[in-house]
Each structure stands twice: as C-alpha cells, then as structure tokens.
Amino acid sequence: MSLPTLDFSLILPELVVLITALLVLIADLLWPRAASRGREQAPAVLALAGLILAGLLTLLAGEWSGATLQGMLVADALARYLNLVVLLAAALGLLLSWSYLPHFSTQRSEYYALYLLAVAGMLFLGKSIELITLFVSLEILSIALYVLTGFHRGQLAGGEAALKYFLLGAFSSGFLLYGAALFYAATGATRLADIAAQNAGGFYMLAGLALFLVGLGFKLAVAPFHMWAPDAYQGAPTPVTAFMSVGTKAAALVALFRVVQAAGSVPVGVWATALAFLSLLTMTLGNLAALRQSSLKRMLAYSSIAHAGYLLVGVVAGTAAGFDAVLFYLFAYAFMNIGAFAIASLLERPGFYAVQDAGIHAADGLFGRRPWLAVAMAMFMLSLAGIPPLAGFFGKLYLFAAAVESGWAWLAVAGVLNSVISAYYYLRVVVGMFMAEPSASAHLRLPLPASATLAVALTALGTLLFGLLATPWFQGISR
Amino acid sequence: MPLLFAALALIALVGAAGVLLSRNPVYSALSLLLNFVAFAVMYVMLSAQFLGVVQIIVYAGAIVVLFLFVVMLIGGNLPALGRGRRAYVRAAGVILAALFLLALLFGLARPLPNGLAAVGAPDGGSVQALGLALYVDHIVPFELASILLLTAMLGGIVLARRYQAPPKD
Amino acid sequence: MSIVLLSILKSLALIILLLTGFAYLTYYERKLLARFHVRRGPNRAGPFGLLQPIADAVKAIFKEEIVPGHVDKLIYIVAPALSLIPALVIFAVIPIAPDLRLGGFTLQFHVADINVGLLYLAAIASVATYGIILGGWSSNNNYALLGSLRTAAQMISYELPFGLLLAAIILTTNIGREAGTLSLIEILNQPRPWWLWLWLWLAFPMFFITMLAESNRSPFDLPETENELIAGFQVEYGGIKFALFFMAEYISMITGSAIMATLFFGGWRGPFADPGTWYGPIVGFGWFFLKVVALLFVYIWVRASVPRIRYDQLLQFCWKVLTPLSIGYLVLTALIVVFVG
C-alpha cells in the first residue's frame, strides 16, 4: 500500500485559514457560554489572527515557483496575488463585521467559521489547476456565501437574497459541471495542463468553454447572468457584501483566466469576442441600472456589476499585461469598494429587528456630521468613477491600455464612455455629502465603532497610496 | 445478458415515466426509487459492483428517503400538483426535452470523443481501482470535498436554528 | 445454467430455513421472556408448546383480509413485503458453513460471494426503512405516520455508526496483506491475530446497539410504542400482512445475529469445523447456529431487562454518544492498521 506524499507547505496559507475556522468552532464548543465579555469577540479576534497569519505566510513564502500539489493545486505568482487580494478583502470585511454583527445575530462563531471557510474556498479556487478541484473549491465558497447572505435572519430581505443566490448559484454550478464534463469528454483529462497539452479541438471543447463561461459568469455577476447580484448584495449583511463582491470576483476571475488558457485549442477570437460582448453588456447594464437606484447599497451592488465588466476587459485582452492590469485593479477595487460599503454600513441604522438599509440620501450632509468620513467616502466614490490620482483611475488606465494594445480599441472606448456614465451617480453622492442638508431621519451623532473606523482608514489610505504609487506597484505585479 | 439488459432498461424507463406521470408525489418518489435500483443493477452488470452498491446506499437509502420524508411532512396528498400550470410552461418543457433528445442523439451519432476512450478500462469499476483513484490520484479534491461537506453542514445548522434576535442595550 | 439453478435452489433452502427460524424464534422468545417473568410460557400446543408457532401461523393466515377504506391500497399492500425482502436478501452473502468438497464438486454454503459484501450489508440495511415508512404513510393514520417518521429518523441516524463501524472492520482486513477485502467470505478466511480479536470485540457492544436500532427492537422499538402510538406504523394492519411485518422484525434479528456472528465471532469457525472434510460443513453449521442462537438470546435478554427509552434520548444517544464513539474507534483503528499492521 503506497500512500501519496503531499507537500503541504504549498497550501500553508489555506491550511491556516481552515484550521482557524475549526478552532473558532471548537472554541465555541469548549468555552462556556456564561463566560466573560471577552468571549463575545473571541471568534472575531481568532479569525482576524488567522487571516493575518495566512497573509504573512503568503508574503514570506518567497517566490512561488509554480510547484504543484499532484497537479491539482499550484502555488504560482498568480495564486500569490490572489491570496493577497482575498485575504485583504477578508480582513477588511471582518473588521466591518466586528461591530456590525452584534446588531443582528448571536451566532458569532458560526458566522466567522463560515466566513473563514468562504475565504478558504476562494484561496483554493485561485490555486486550482484541475477541474474537480476547481469545482469543489467553487462550491465551498458558494455554499458558505449562500448562508452568509441569509445570515440576517430577522429580516425577510436576507432570506430572499439567500434563496435567490442559492437557486441561481446552484443552477450555474450545473452549467460549470457540464462544461467540465465536456472538457473531460474531449480530452480524457481533468488537469488543465493535460487538457492544454491534448490540444483537442472541435465541438466538445467549444461547448465546454461556453458552459464554463456561463458558470463562472454567474459567480462573477456578469450580465446577463447577474440577476441574483443586486438582491443578494442588498439583502446580505453589508460586511458580507463588501467581502464577497471583491473576493468572489477575484477568485472566479483567476479561475476563468486559467481555464481560458487551458482551452488553447479553441480559437482565441471566439472566446475573446464572446467575453468582450459580455463585458460590454455588463458594464453598460450595471451603470445604467445604478443610475436609478434609491438605496445606497443597491446602487453599489449595480456599480459592482459594472466593475465586473471592466475587469473582464483585462481577460479579453488575453495578454500578460492584461491580466496584470486585472490583478492591479482587483487590489484597487478591494480598497475602494470595501471602503464604500464600509461607509454604507455605518450609515445604516440598527432597528429593532432588522438593520435599516441606507437610502441614497443617507449620506446627505455627511460633511457636516463627520467630516473625515465624508472625505473618505468622496475618495472612494471618485476612485470608483476613475478620477485621477486615485487607485481606480490607474486601474482603468492599465486595463484599457492593455485592451487597446491587443486590438480591442472599441471595448476600451466603451469602457471610457461607461466610466463617464458612472461618474454621474458616484458624484451625486459626493455632491449630496458636501452640499445637501442631512435628511430629517438621520442621526445627529453618527456612532463610529473603532474597528470600522480602522477599516475605513485603511481602505482610504490604500485608495490613495495605490493611486499615488501606481507605477511601482504595477511594475511589481508585472514582474 | 441482452435480455436482462432490456428488462432492466424497461424497468428504468417505467420508473422514469412514473416520476413524471404520477399525480401523487409519493408514487413519484417510489418510481424514482425503481429507476435508481434498475440503474444499480445495470452498474453491477457492467462489473462496477461498487458503484452499484453505492448507488443503492446513497440514492435509494438516503435521497429518496429524504424526499419521502419531506413529502410526508408537508402532506403526501397534493392532488393539485401538476394541474393548473400555464400552457407555455408545458410547451417550454416539451421543447427543452426535445432539444435534449436531439443533443443526445447528436452526441451518440458522432464518433466517441477521444477522451472517453479510456473510460471503459477493464476492472475500472472495482473497489481497488476506485480506491486508488480517490485516495491516491485525487486525494486533494477528495479532502476538499470533506471541507465542502463541513461547510454545508454548518450552513444547514445555522439556517435551521430558530432565529434569536440579539439583546438590545 | 446450472449455476443459476443452484443459486435458486440455495436461495429457496435459505428462505425456508429463515422462515422456520422465524417461527421458532417467536417460540424461543416467548419461552425466554416467560423465564424472565417467572412464568411458564406457551405449553399447550404439542409437547412443551412446540407446535405453538404453527398454531399462530394458521391463525394469522386464516384471518379475514381487511383493507381499510381510507388507505392507499397499492402501497398498503406492498409495504409489508418491502419490509420483509431486505431482511431475507441480506443473508445471500453470509457463509453459513465451510465448503463441502465431494470429488471434483464443491458446494459452497452461501448464495453469492460478491466482492463488495460488506457494503452490500450497508446498502440493504439502508433500504430496509422503506417498508415501514410506506406502511405508516399508506395507512393514512396519524399514529401510523408518526411511527413511520420516527422509524425513518431512527434508522437513518443509526446507519451512521453502523457504517462507521463497518468501515473500521473493513480497515482491519488490510492488516498484514497487500489489499483488504470487502467480501464476508474472505474476511472469514483471513486469520486474525489475537489482539485484533480483542480490539474488534471492543466495538461489539456499539455494533450490537446499532443492530438493535436497525431492527427496531426494544429498547429502540419507538416506531410501535403501544402506550404512545398504539402500534405505530402497524396500527392499520391485520392478518397475514401484520404477520409479514412481524416476520420482518424477527428475521432481521436473525440476520443481525448472523452478521455479528460472522464479523465478530468467526461465523462457522470452531473446533472440528474443518473445511474440506465430510463432517466440516455439519460441524461448521452447528457452530454458526449456536453463535446465532446465543446472540439472539442477548437480543431477548435486552428486551426483558431494559426499559424503552424516550424518542429524543434515542436520537441524542445516537448523535452525541454513539457516532462520536464510532468515529473515535474508526480513527484508532486506522492508526493501528497503519502503525501495527
């Protein structure tokens, strides 16, 4: 009997996250309920420590050379950057949850354990280079997120969001699985490297790739597979929305990139054109719909759909520069989007049973109430709209430049036009904050929990620094 | 052997038709059971004994029982099921089924794709072969699947618990 | 064709054996219970009441067949058979005696040696729920439905430790050889070191409890608790259909004992049960029979001495005690197999 030898050091950050999730659960079991106040936040502390440790391990691991675990999981530079993006988003989302969760739930350990499992799923997805592994990782993150979306059990919207997300997500998993089956049928291999080596052409590969695009498109909330996203993003607890809008996108994009690379036999023009149209449709639809929203959170949800469209531009470009731009944009997006959601969560008012959604005018007059918060929010909005010298601008610049370089000029133009549309609804919030009077129902004194303040400060700093130091960062990624 | 196969195929078809045509959900579930069992026997005939037995354990022993459980708890006699549907829903069903049939025929008419040549390897369905595939070649996704199950279990428990609003202070 | 014919003959012989066994198991139980209660038990029909089972059978067969008007007729009639069949079918993979060799001809005393025998046990055990669930549902009676839902929950829950312990036993077949086996016949033919016997016997009490629950025997006879549910899933049944349910319970006791005798106590193995000799099969079957009867005694002993437990306690015991214990046992067994074997 010969058992396989596995080099677990390749997945050390993932293992740390998983073990932390288990520790959170076990601590809940062993630590008596009636214990001190410290118990309340113990799961959050533990989870944050796990995420930070995982991040440090990713940073300190030196160059990830692309060694694989049995050809199933790979530790390469791409995975490393993804790890950093996801862990960053997770840590920021966790800081938001810290003060937000106690408003609506007592099931803290369960929340943080599921949260960490979702993180682990994303990390594994980013490392998957085999179809079964890819699918299972995707399901880990999806199932954890379905439940987290519905975690706000006191309000109906949460349940509705979770149900919609679950049903459509399960449906999309089916598409993905059919795609994987067709790949297997065409090549007899499940490892992406083997599939690429087979160079099998023909109908099965094409159909498989199309189904993969649909399946991953659902996870990315790409139009026309975005139907679940506004409801899910609005109904989910805001910290979860912030985290998943970045983390899921990042992981699914990396998976999409790897799959597209493996299906090398399908002519590039075919899938790139398909993706380009999806990208165009997504950003246009997201931006147009965002114009008409009356809820801040829902507006941000549509904006995040539009951003999925921008991100696809980098994949369409198909070059290394294109995907480097995607990675850069993901970092920038993590900062500015989570920052925006963080402030949206601060503007929400905890009601008796449910947390009230922040309306589009909730931020009105914020400058008079909390000037620094208003400045930060203005920065996030401007960055999301893509105004220099903030991170979002350079992200879009690199993305569109890569598209133009590889001959997708019209897509880049469409992207620029879309940014102009989006500027309207982003700037409307900014104008409201500085010019308008606060609405009558607004709190006079906005409570500012320390953890959320820290999150806002970090994201604002990130948005600014990524903008000012864009060139060295981007060169770092390209290397 | 062909005779046995024909009989099993017939049973499987009857089961499948029964799922659709029964008015009573309990009968539908039982027809499904019939279908599963017929398939299990076919697996055994194809010398994939392990797969056959697992089919029984998982599908017959767990999934259909679960269906019955649900049907019985929400009331087994739902004669209204299937009635009162819109015409376009039926039409869509028929069209989709026809498309699926076309796709299957299309797939069968073409030569077997290269990748599937290796599938029918002799002894591929034995416990030993499956054990090697699961615990040696695919140990990574196998372990990930255990994490997936843990996640699903945890999620199920969270959603099934009665909601308790946190105390307001 | 002769193989098919032989299998059919063997199956028939086995069924007759089991049905007779069932009849006299009821007698055995009633006599034993009487002993526990300091009574005499059945003693009117024939010498020592030995004809009592036959009298019971005649009574059950000649009762009027009643199908209540409010039941779902088809399922109502099929359900008792569905609960009996799994109990009978399990026996196909259990060797009841060593092979008999006469000249060039070998007679094997089991119906089928399939290479996934142990999983076959689990599969059939998992299907055994249907008869009871459907019987309870088709009766269209609240007590019956409650009883059958209880059974479903109980049997599915207890399949978990059952399966885990089976997995542990399967693991031990790896010790000292290239590959393990899932065949009951091969397990019986493998020599086990003495410490392995001791280790396996440690699991026996747990396994016995799951078997009690799987066959709905007291103290786990919740599906038919008289004082809460009248008779649970069998309320609406009478005559021969009731007898079939009854039969299913008793035959599954016999099968359970046979499985345990084979897995934990060496089946037909014993002094003088030498394979290949003319007397081997006879002595072997004798040992097998004795072991089964001894285990059946434990079943009845438990029934006479242990009160029925409450339903929530039943499930709690399964999920919070038995399942963790059997997981622990499985892990320890795996460690033993890796480090000692």
Contact A347, A361 (CB under 8 A): no
Q: What is the pLDDT of residues C297-337, one digit of tens each?
A: 999 898 888 888 888 888 888 888 999 999 999 999 988 88
Q: How confident is the model at residue A270 (pLDDT cuts 50, 70, 90)?
A: confident
Q: Could you say which residues from 46 to 75 on chain A have a Cβ atom under 8 Å away from some Cβ of chain B?
A: 69-70, 72-73
Q: Which of B115, B138, B157 sits opposite A132 (nearest CB)?
A: B138
Q: What is the pLDDT of residues C77-135, one digit of tens each?
A: 888 888 888 888 888 888 887 777 776 677 777 777 777 788 888 888 888 888 888 88
Amino acid at B127: V
Task: Give the residue with greater pLDDT, B78 vs B23.
Answer: B23
Q: What pTM was computed for the model?
A: 0.87
**pLDDT above 90 covers what percent of chain B?**
17
pLDDT over 60 (residue B62) = yes
- Which of A264-268, A344-348, A353-357: highest mean pLDDT? A344-348
pLDDT over 90 (residue A177) = yes
Query: Cβ B56–C126 below 8 Å, yes or no?
Result: yes
Which three-class secondary structure state does DSSP give residue B37? helix
Q: Which of C72, C123, C129 sits opposite B53 (nearest CB)?
A: C123
Contacts of A1 in chain C (CB under 8 A): 174, 178-179
Q: Could you say which residues from 304 to 333 on chain A have a Cβ atom under 8 Å away from some Cβ of chain B?
A: none
CA distances from B117 to A74, A160, B125 (A): 28, 45, 15
**pLDDT above 70 covers what percent of chain A?**
92
pLDDT over 90 (residue B58) = no
Q: pLDDT value at position A368? A: 80
Question: What's B88's DSSP letter?
Answer: H
CA distances from C324 to A368, B143, C206, C319 (A): 59, 20, 11, 7
Distance from CA of C170 to the nearest CA of B (A): 12
CA distances from A378 to A238, A463, B16 (A): 19, 11, 60
Closest CA to A6 of C337, C334, B131, B136: B136
- Residue B111 backbone dihedrals phi, psi, to 5 degrees: -65, 150
Q: What is the pLDDT of residues B94-129, one digit of tens each?
A: 899 999 899 888 877 777 666 666 566 666 667 777
Q: pLDDT value at position A81? A: 86
Question: What's B117's DSSP letter?
Answer: G
Question: Where are the domains positioned within chain B?
Answer: 2-80, 122-161
Other beta carbons within 10 angstroms of residue A448's beta carbon come to: 13
Q: Tokens 């003693």 belong to which residue?
A: C43
Assembly ipTM: 0.89
pLDDT (average), residues A223-246:
88
Question: Where are the domains positioned within chain C?
Answer: 65-339
Query: Cβ B53–C130 below 8 Å, yes or no?
Result: no
Q: Quick one: three-class SS letters along chain C?
A: CHHHHHHHHHHHHHHHHHHHHHHHHHHHHHHHHHHHCCCCCCCCCCHHHCCHHHHHHHHHHCCCCCCCCCCCHHHHHHHHHHHHHHHHHHHHHCCCCCCEEECCEEECCCCCCCCCHHHHHHHHHHHCHHHHHHHHHHCCCHHHHHHHHHHHHHHHHHHHHHHHHHHHHHHHCCCCCCCCCCCHHHHHHCCCCHHHHHHHHHHHHHHHHHHHHHCCCCCCCHHHCHHHHCCHHHCCCCHHHHHHHHHHHHHHHHHHHHHHHHHHHCCCCCCCCCCCCCCHHHHHHHHHHHHHHHHHHHHHHHHHHCCCCCHHHHHHHHHHHHHHHHHHHHHHHHHHHHHCC
Q: State how far Cα A375 lies from the chain centre.
A: 24
Q: pLDDT value at position A122? A: 93
Query: Cβ B139–A113 below 8 Å, yes or no?
Result: no
B92 shares contact with chain A (CB less than 8 Å): no
Q: pLDDT value at position C69? A: 78
Q: How confident is the model at residue A352 (pLDDT cuts 50, 70, 90)?
A: very low
Q: pLDDT value at position B124? A: 64
Distance from CA of B132 to the nearest CA of A (A): 9
pLDDT over 90 (residue A115) = yes
Q: How confident is the model at residue B47 (pLDDT cuts 50, 70, 90)?
A: confident
What's chain C's average pLDDT?
Answer: 83
Contact C122, C162 (CB under 8 A): yes
Contact A16, A60 (CB under 8 A): no
Residue C163: closest C-alpha in chain B = B57
Closest CA to A121 of A219, A31, A214: A219
Neighbours of chain B (3+ CB pairs under 8 A): A, C
Question: Where are the domains positioned within chain A?
Answer: 267-479
CATH of range B2-80; options 1.20.120.1200, 1.20.210.10, 3.40.50.2300, 3.30.390.30: 1.20.120.1200
Task: Give the residue with greater pLDDT, A425 vs C240.
Answer: A425
Q: What is the pLDDT of residues C169-212, one digit of tens each?
A: 888 887 767 667 777 877 887 777 888 888 888 889 999 999 88
